[in-house]
Amino acid sequence: MTTKSTKNATPKYDITNVPPVGATSYDLVNGIQRHFVRTLGQDNRSHSSHYNYQALAFTIRDRLMECWKDSREASCEADGRRAYYLSLEFLMGRAMGNAMLNLGLDEQAEQAMHDLGIDLEEMIDEEHDAGLGNGGLGRLAACFVDSCATLQLPVTGYGIRYEYGMFRQLIKDGAQAEEPDHWLRNGNIWEIARPEYEQRIHFGGRTEQYRDDAGVLRCRWVDANDVLAIPYDTPIPGYQNGTVNTLRLWKSAATDEFDLGEFNAGSYPESVASKNEAEHISMVLYPNDSSENGKELRLRQQYFLASASIKDVIRRWVEKNGNDFSQFAAKNCFQLNDTHPTVSVAELMRILMDEYHLEWDDAWEITSKTMAYTNHTLLPEALERWPVYLFGRLLPRVLDIIYEINARFLTEVAKQWPGDVERQRRMSIIEEGDVQQVRMAYLAIAGSYSVNGVAQLHSDLLVEGLFADFYAMWPEKFNNKTNGVTQRRWMAMCNKPMSALINETIGEGWVTKLSELGQLAPYAEKAAFRKKWAACKRQNKERLAEVVEQVCGVRFSPDAMFDVQVKRIHEYKRQLLNVLHVIHLYDRIKRGDTANWTNRCVLIGGKAAPGYYMAKQIIKLVSNVAEVVNNDPEVGDKLKVVFFPNYRVSAMEIIAPATDLSEQISTAGKEASGTGNMKFMMNGAMTIGTLDGANIEIREEVGEENFFLFGLTAEEVEATRGHYDPSAIIAADEDFKRVMELLECGHFSQFEPGLFSSITHAIRGSDDPWLVAADFRTYVDAQQRAAEAYQDQKSWLRMSIFNTTYSGKFSTDRTMEDYNRDIWKLEPIKLK
Ligand code: 26W
**Position with higher pLDDT, 8 vs 685:** 685
Mean pLDDT, to the nearest integer, of 88-99? 98
Residue 526 placed within a domain: no
Return the pLDDT at 257. 61
- The answer to whether the CB of 645 is under 6 A from ligand 1 is no
Catalogue the active-site residues.
376, 567-568, 573, 675, 679
CA count, 13 A, side-chain hemisphere, 519:
13
For the residues of 477-529, what is the DSSP string, one character each? GEEE----B-HIIIIIIT-HHHHHHHHHHH-SGGGT-GGGGGGGGGGGG-HHH
Residue 207 placed within a domain: yes
Q: What is the pLDDT of residues 103-127, one digit of tens each?
A: 999 999 999 999 999 999 999 999 9
Q: What is the pLDDT of residues 414-436, one digit of tens each?
A: 999 999 999 999 999 999 999 99
Q: What is the pLDDT of residues 144-200, one digit of tens each?
A: 999 999 999 999 999 999 999 999 999 999 999 999 999 999 999 999 999 999 999
Pocket test for ligand 1, best of 90, 132, 137 (most atoms within 8 A of CB): 137
Residue 524 placed within a domain: no
Residue 376 placed within a domain: no
Mean pLDDT, to the nearest integer, of 58-84? 96
Yes or no: say if 310 and 363 are a contact pair by the CB < 8 Å rule.
Answer: no
Q: Whose CA is nearest to atom 5 of ligand 1?
A: 289
Residue 784 placed within a domain: yes
Kindly tell me if the per-residue pLDDT of 6 is higher than 60. Answer: no
Kindly tell me if the per-residue pLDDT of 1 is higher than 50. Answer: no
Q: What is the pLDDT of residues 445-500, one digit of tens each?
A: 999 999 999 999 999 999 999 999 999 999 999 999 999 999 999 999 999 999 99
Mean pLDDT, to the nearest integer, of 246-272? 76
The residue type of 822 is: D
CA count, 13 A, side-chain hemisphere, 765:
10
Nearest atom of ligand 1 to the alpha carbon of 382: 6
| Percent of the chain clearing pLDDT 70 (strictly above) | 97
Pocket test for ligand 1, best of 338, 379, 456 (most atoms within 8 A of CB): 338
With both helix axes pointing from N to C terminus, report the angle between 456-464 and 695-702 in degrees, rounded to the nearest 10: 140
Q: What is the pLDDT of residues 778-805, one digit of tens each?
A: 999 999 999 999 999 999 999 999 999 9
DSSP 828: P
Q: Tell me phi and psi for residue 496, to 5 degrees.
A: -65, -40
Domain limits for position 218: 68-341
Kindly tell me if the per-residue pLDDT of 366 is higher than 60. Answer: yes
Dist CA 586 CA 635 (whole Å) = 7
Dihedral, CA of residue 89, residue 94, residue 95 and residue 98, to nearest 10: -110
Q: Kindly list the distances between the CA atom of residue 222 and the CA atoms of 210, 219, 259, 291, 684, in Å, as whole numbers in the listed order.
A: 11, 10, 18, 34, 59
Look at the chain and report how many structural domains it folds into.
2
Q: Which of 530, 547, 639, 548 is nearest to 588 (CA)?
A: 639
Mean pLDDT, to the nearest integer, of 540-547? 98
Mean pLDDT, to the nearest integer, of 213-237? 95
Dist CA 647 CA 152 (whole Å) = 32
CATH number (domain holding residue 325): 3.40.50.2000
Kindly tell me if the per-residue pLDDT of 750 is higher than 80. Answer: yes
Alpha carbon 60 to chain centroid, angstroms: 25
- The answer to whether the CB of 282 is under 6 A from ligand 1 is no
Return the pLDDT at 264. 63
Residue 795 placed within a domain: no
- The answer to whether the CB of 292 is under 6 A from ligand 1 is yes
- The answer to whether the CB of 541 is under 6 A from ligand 1 is no
The residue type of 722 is: G
The residue type of 46 is: S
Return the pLDDT at 263. 58
Dist CA 743 CA 747 (whole Å) = 6
142 C-alpha vs ligand 1 centroid, how far in Å?
14
Q: Whose CA is nearest to atom 21 of ligand 1?
A: 674
**Residue 732 exposed, middle or buried by CB count within 10 Å (0-12, 13-18, 19+):** exposed
Return the pLDDT at 270. 73
12 CB-near residues (< 8 Å, 6+ apart) = none
Least confident of 253-262, 381-390, 644-653: 253-262
| Percent of the chain clearing pLDDT 90 (strictly above) | 92
CA count, 13 A, side-chain hemisphere, 262:
15
Pocket test for ligand 1, best of 290, 297, 378, 381 (most atoms within 8 A of CB): 290
Q: Which of 443, 472, 471 is nearest to 459 (CA)?
A: 471
Mean pLDDT, to the nearest integer, of 15-20? 82
Least confident of 88-92, 380-384, 699-703, 772-776: 380-384
Return the pLDDT at 269. 73
pLDDT grade, residue 289 (50/70/90)?
A: confident
Return the pLDDT at 322. 97
Nearest atom of ligand 1 to the alpha carbon of 138: 13
Kindly tell me if the per-residue pLDDT of 524 is higher than 60. Answer: yes
Q: Which long-range contacts (CB under 8 A, 24 or more apart) does 263-272 make?
A: none
Dist CA 78 CA 203 (whole Å) = 36
Residue 288 placed within a domain: yes
Q: What is the pLDDT of residues 635-661, one digit of tens each?
A: 999 999 999 999 999 999 999 999 999
Q: Whose CA is nearest to atom 18 of ligand 1?
A: 137
Yes or no: say if 694 and 677 are a contact pair by the CB < 8 Å rule.
Answer: yes
DSSP 164: B
162 C-alpha vs ligand 1 centroid, how far in Å?
19
Q: Kindly list the distances between the CA atom of residue 528 and the CA atoms of 300, 483, 801, in Å, as whole numbers in the listed order.
A: 59, 34, 13
Other C-beta atoms closer than 10 Å to the C-beta of 320 total 10
Q: Which residue, 299, 321, 341, sits at the end of a domain? A: 341
Residue 518 placed within a domain: no
**Beta strand pairing status for 244-254 and 371-374?**
unpaired
Kindly tell me if the per-residue pLDDT of 220 is higher than 80. Answer: yes
Q: Which of 538, 556, 568 is nearest to 684 (CA)?
A: 538
579 CB-near residues (< 8 Å, 6+ apart) = 604, 618, 621, 622, 625
Radius of gyration in angstroms for the set of CA atoms belonging to the chain, rounded to a whole number: 28
- The answer to whether the CB of 377 is under 6 A from ligand 1 is yes
The residue type of 576 is: L
Return the pLDDT at 9. 67
Mean model confidence pLDDT for the chain? 96
Kindly tell me if the per-residue pLDDT of 2 is higher than 60. Answer: no
For the question of whether the overall pTM of this predicted structure is more than 0.75, the answer is yes
Length of the chain: 832
